[in-house]
Amino acid sequence: MFSLCYAELGSALPFSGGEYYHVKRGLGSLPAFITVWTLLFFTSPASNAARALTLAEYISRPIFADCPPPDLFKKSLAIGVLLALGVINYKSVKMAAWVQIIFTVLKMMSLFFIIAYGLFELGTNPDASKPFQDAFSSDVPNAAQTAEAFYQGLFAYGGWNSINCIAEEVKNPGKIIPRSIMTAISSVIVFYLLVNISYLTVLSPRELVSSAAVSVTWADRMIPTWAWIMPVSVVVSIFGALNGDMFTLGRLNYAGSKEGHLPALISMLHVHYLTPAPAMIISTLTAFVFVIPSDLIALTNYLSFASQLLTGLACVSLIVLRYREPDLERPYKVFLPIAFIVVGISAFLVLAPIVQSPKVEYFYALLFMLSSLIIYIPFIHFKLKIPFFDKLTCHLQLLLEVSPSDLYEDPKSE
């Protein structure tokens, strides 16, 4: 349902920035600034850091064998991966696209391998079905636990909003965006369920939850002589996903700058590579900061808490635009009650943990979002100018070899 709402927004408003632009169009400048502030400096870099730390976990586990990998090693490795992807996206859009294609193909091959082994084990070993017995016999979770479980699931299934961030670069977005979202989400659901079934043919639910690298534990049981394949496959998978996130995060920086909510320097393009180089530098550096905490579950919960609030704002924008701009061309239209249901789910996922199981971290997340007002009121609303800022921008232009993006626009396209 979330992805269907984003399919309408992306096809009707094919501009870079994703939910930031959607919220700006539907709800106005202030909610949009809170959205871009939260996405750029909290949820997106935190998501990238979580993926980089997971990748580092899978790389370091075989190196240190039965010993737990040192945190310093994992964090250094995660920063190295983020830096490598930042350089790739800085230097070439085509290079980033080829990395995405190659690693997606390799990821699908590894998933087919896991699924095939699991289904074979399920069909030939009578004991393989035991973990599925009484699968739903556990205690009923409370509202806060349900919301946090949704956070983990939505993080795994997330990505429906990525194509909206680069909608401006998509050919025929009215057709491509809805088809891509529906095809991708359906495929992810099928593969995610089959892979977890494969894991449960070998591991108990307790082992599945407690393992820091599930596929490695699964491979040690199923194919001990070829167990090294699994960490390599997972690293390939996460690297590809992380590359896509870095690519879209740079476009979000770029869109916020073009709309006047971020410094003009961020929307400039490199004079040789024609990439949003300053945006990529900022995206990479902010992700570095979130590598410092190493609790992946907590990191996922807190960034998902903020993400759900922003998703709800985007879907509210969809509803507002339906009534405010009824004549807006919409190549795809979601059934409107679905949008109301999504807003209700987002409200539940935001409020349930706060009401039933309040944690200071959720308060910090809300405080961080509201701290954007410190920047918005003087510099956006009242247009306060910082002395010497224009000179600083010129010096950084020369240093980074960037220039305004409108210099590269094709006049025939206007």
Asked whether the whole model's pTM tops 0.85, one would answer: no
Q: Give the pLDDT score at 250.
A: 72
The CATH code of the domain at 2-130+139-413 is 1.20.1740.10
Highest mean pLDDT among 24-38, 95-109, 153-167, 398-412: 24-38
Q: What is the pLDDT of residues 367-396, one digit of tens each?
A: 888 889 999 999 998 888 888 888 898 999
Q: What is the pLDDT of residue 295?
A: 59
Looking at residue 3, its amino acid is: S
Residue 107: band (very low, low, confident or very high) from pLDDT cuts 50, 70, 90 = confident
Question: What is the pLDDT at residue 324?
Answer: 93
Residue 138 has pLDDT above 70, yes or no: no
pLDDT at 302: 64
- pLDDT at residue 22 tops 60: yes
The whole-number pLDDT of residue 299 equals 60
State the average pLDDT for the chain.
82
The C-alpha atoms of residue 331 and residue 171 are separated, in whole angstroms, by 14
Q: pLDDT band at 32, cuts 50/70/90?
A: very high
139-198 tens-digit pLDDT: 777 777 777 777 777 766 777 777 888 888 788 888 888 888 888 888 888 888 888 888
Name, in order, each residue with C-beta under 8 angstroms of 234's C-beta and a sequence gap of 6 or more: 55, 58, 110, 213, 215, 216
- Where exactly are the structural domains of the chain? 2-130+139-413
In this prediction, residue 410 carries a pLDDT of: 46
